Amino acid sequence: MLTFKPSIWRDSTLTELPRPVDVVRVQDSWDFVQFKVPLAAGDAIEGRSLNGVDISIEGRVGRQAGVLAGDEDEMLSVLESLRAVLGVNAPEDEYELFLYHDAGAGTYRSFRGCTTVRFEYDVSAPQLFSYSAVIHASDPVMHTDAPS
């Protein structure tokens, strides 16, 4: 059974995103050239091509891999670990973002060629820290096979 389990696959290690994950928004966009003839109605569009995909994720730090983060110190540790996993240190530093997976059945949904565009977190609510990330996948295909 396919399970919603947002995770980062990097260096043969799967790291679940802290839960609950409240929002996962996938944005496709296309490039094209638009031509307009002066004084003529309408326009012409040529060369449509799909760009990479932007994925916005919003969550809170309540649990990490099924373990409750019970106080501020534990939540800060979870955020520091997440920050390290999402970190980009070189142009070729990419990872795979899984949205759904069931390793037992061999079913997956993931984006490859991912890099972090933005990561921010809010530690002002001591009961439950929140975070958001924007991840760009240069490969616009949602893959269904095992991790690469």
Which residues in 79-93 are b (16+ Cβ under 10 Å) and which e?
beebeebbeeeeeee
Would you state the pLDDT for residue 129?
93
Nearest-5° Cα angle at 125, 121 to 65: 60
Task: Determine the pLDDT at residue 147.
Answer: 84
Run of H or E residues at 78:
helix 72-86
Q: What is the pLDDT of residue 62?
A: 86
Task: Tokens for 126, please give them.
Answer: 């001591």
User: What sign has the CA pseudo-torsion 73, 127, 117, 57?
Assistant: positive
- Domain ranges for the chain, please list them: 3-29+50-137
Q: For residue range 69-122, what is the model confidence (pLDDT) as tens digits? A: 888 999 999 999 999 999 988 777 899 999 998 878 888 999 999 999 999 999
pLDDT for 91: 75
pLDDT at 50 over 80: yes
C-beta of residue 28 within 8 angstroms of C-beta of residue 140? yes
Convert the pLDDT of each residue in 20-47 to its tens digit: 999 999 999 999 999 998 999 999 999 8
Q: Flag whether the pTM goes above 0.85.
A: yes
pLDDT score for 2: 87
Q: What is the pLDDT, as a whole number, of residue 88?
A: 86
Supply the pLDDT for residue 118: 97
Class of 3-29+50-137 in CATH: mainly beta
**pLDDT value of position 53:** 98
